[in-house]
Amino acid sequence: MAAARKLKSSAPASAAGRLDRMLGAHLAVGPGLVKAADRAASVGAMGLQIFTGNPTGWARRAELPKELPEFRARMKEHGFGPLAVHAAYLANLAGPRPEIREKSIALLQYELRVAPEYGASFVNVHIGSHLGTGVEAGVKRVAEAVDQILDGVPKASSDALLVLENSAGGGNGIGESLEELIAIHEAMAKQRVDMSRVGYCLDSAHLWGAGIEMSDIDQLDRVVSEFDRRIGLEKLVMIHYNDSKAAHGSKLDRHQHIGGGEVGARGLAALISHPKLAHAAYYLETPGMEEGWDRLNVDRTIQLAQGNLKLKPLPAESPGVPKPAKRVVKVAKVAKVAKVAGKKPVKRASAASPRRAGTAKPQRGSRRQP
Ligand SMILES: [Zn+2]
Ligand SMILES: [Zn+2]
């Protein structure tokens, strides 16, 4: 596999060749797109999810980044799997307010239009909230909005899929249960949406918030087979692979490091090794990627996929920012010196990683996560 050859051999564990499926990571592109791609490779990931702009703002750049050709080339060099663009959180396809709806439609049309420039296969969006107007009305609005979005972007100009993500259910978020996803799917079919341009994403932290217990194999199997029967597993193109700080069934969406949260090693191991989900692209959306948690979460995912559920306790402090892959051997020493000198890892103000579903307001001070 090309990915295995291209990934730096100095990386302690690479997902390529050690997983039977694609594992990517959502990384900040503030430092640059090419840098993000290289970082993903250096921590052993096989793909990327990114924001094209501020995840908590509507504005999108007037001019595309100059490094896009180089970025696309680098993604290929690394042998990466599909690139996903995560749309801004403000988008709400299910809500009743016309102004937000128009902005959401325009935003998603933008993301779909620029997706080919980035080389992105998926434009992922939280479905949104019906804001108290009821699931039925919300479902109808979603179907109409998706239709309008796709109508405004000819298929010939964008081959990226619009990927609808399940919700944890808080804040009247739509798509909490499989039934709601099926209702949306059927409403879109009725609306004559071009279904070849639509896909789905299941986020494990959201499944957990919505009350799915993934460590119960029968329960996970039921979700998978019901999805297959009513929607088709080929439509499940993305999985957001996160643990959760929130309680089971709490409808809350609080991402946590793999095996460090309430979903736990058993549930996450079942998800990463489910034989019917190997076709999907998995993306970590765990916190603090830029502080070295990205590598740790890739390593922990590989360990779970290999059937070893005895994960080490999470380190009390951030694992540190790895230097470029070429000098990985020296990283441990450098990190130690930096720690002794009392240097803190650089915090980035730019979009880090994606967060919660629906329209819940971003928590002050919390790290951004998809
Ligand atoms: Zn997600
Ligand atoms: Zn989430």
Please answer whether residues 164 and 104 qualify as being in contact, where contact means their C-beta atoms are separated by less than 8 angstroms: no
Query: What's the gap in Å between 272 CA and the centre of ligand 1?
Result: 15
Query: What's the gap in Å between 8 CA and the centre of ligand 1?
Result: 28
Lowest mean pLDDT, pick from 122-131, 138-147, 148-157, 349-358: 349-358
Query: What's the gap in Å between 326 CA and the centre of ligand 1?
Result: 31
Query: What's the gap in Å between 240 CA and the centre of ligand 1?
Result: 5
Per-residue model confidence as pLDDT tens digits over 174-226: 999 999 999 999 999 999 999 999 999 999 999 999 999 999 999 999 999 99
Mean pLDDT estimate for the chain: 88
What region, left, alpha or beta, does residue 263 occupy, with left being phi > 0 and alpha being psi -120 to 50 degrees? Answer: alpha
Show the domains of the chain with their CATH numbers. Answer: 2-340 (3.20.20.150)
pLDDT at 13 (0 to 100): 61
Letter string b/e over residues 325-355, b meaning 16 or more CB atoms within 10 A of that residue's CB: beebeebeeebeeeeeeeeebeeeeebbbbb
pLDDT at 346 (0 to 100): 45
What region, left, alpha or beta, does residue 173 occupy, with left being phi > 0 and alpha being psi -120 to 50 degrees? Answer: beta
Per-residue model confidence as pLDDT tens digits over 214-256: 999 999 999 999 999 999 999 999 999 999 999 999 999 999 9
Judged by its nearest atom, the ligand closest to the C-alpha of residue 282 is 1
Give, in order, the Cα–Cα distances in Å from 47 to each of 160, 255, 281, 351, 367.
Answer: 16, 19, 9, 18, 21
Query: What's the gap in Å between 339 CA and the centre of ligand 1?
Result: 32
Per-residue model confidence as pLDDT tens digits over 21-71: 999 999 999 999 999 999 999 999 999 999 999 999 999 988 999 999 999
